[in-house]
Amino acid sequence: MSEKISKIVLGTSRFSGIYGIKNNKKILSLKEVKKIIDYAYKNKIRYLDTAITYKKTNYLLKKINIKRFKVTSKLPSIKLNTNNFYYKISKIIDDHLEQLRIKRLYALYLHRPNDLLKKNNENLILALKKLKKEKKIKKVGFSVYGIKQLKNLIDVFKPDIVQLPLSVFDYRFKKKNIIKKLQDMKIEVHVRSIFFQGGLFCNYKTLNKKLLFTKKIYSKWRNWLQKNNTNITRGAFSVLYKLKKVKVVVGVESRDQLIEINNEFKKKFLKPPKINVSNKILKKHYNFNIN
């Protein structure tokens, strides 16, 4: 009988304080990172998410045995007209694997997947296929922000896996049934920004200068929590209501945070609130064109 693996993916960007609204740029100690990783493994969390550009995070990870995990990572943008393109991208992956002390990546996302829509995109496509053939990566995919962007990309290259944003403040991909359509195409789906980059936890009065959503939206969210007598973490997971086989990327700054997230994730998902955040706000929040 096979082991039942958690659908939680441990995001590692917060290890080096480079993500989130409440980001204090604090780099975690190696001791705390080890505690987080150990707890994750003991609780059947088997996926780790990093990126080639997370230099400080990867420096911490290389000091820990993560061979037991399925590691997903992101490839930064590379000029497609570069001479010996495959060898350059292969060297980047080889160096990344060596630093993490693993033999291959479970998945490699294109952090700037619109590179596939540019001239000379065949260089990138051929390189990705060759990396898979050489078993340096198992799956190739996109990290996307918008539905139109995703459709344009799939017309050019069918991915094995897609990472996309999903939260109670941003459920475009769920509302438009995109997640189900991807799964019907046998494409694995991982969702990120489940806590809206920390925005769901924020105190509006003290952080309103950093928050791009309105006080009305924030109040609706808090009132829903109160009405359902639930905490923010469990409330955030309500967006997963009636979704199947979706894996969820969560970032933490301590083992205690991961313990709380894991405990709340195991509970029955509530029916989510109906909160409408405009595309204009989402673009500003993600600092990216979501079209």
Please compute the mean of the pLDDT values over residues 220-247 and round it to a whole number: 96
Indicate whether this model's pTM tops 0.85. Answer: yes
pLDDT in tens, 25-83: 688 999 999 999 999 999 999 999 999 999 999 999 999 999 999 999 999 888 877 77
Residue 242 pLDDT: 95
- Calculate the alpha carbon distances from 258 to 39, 40, 211 in Å: 8, 8, 24
Would the pLDDT of 145 be above 90? yes
Chain CA centroid to CA 126, Å: 25
- CA-nearest of 69, 74, 128 to 102 is 69
276 neighbors 133 (Cβ within 8 angstroms):
no
Would the pLDDT of 1 be above 50? no
Would the pLDDT of 222 be above 50? yes
Q: Which domains does the chain have, with CATH numbers?
A: 8-286 (3.20.20.100)
pLDDT in tens, 147-191: 999 999 999 999 999 999 999 999 999 999 999 999 999 999 999
**What is the SS3 string spanning 78-127?**
CCCCCCCHHHHHHHHHHHHHHHHCCCCEEEEEECCHHHHHCCCHHHHHHH
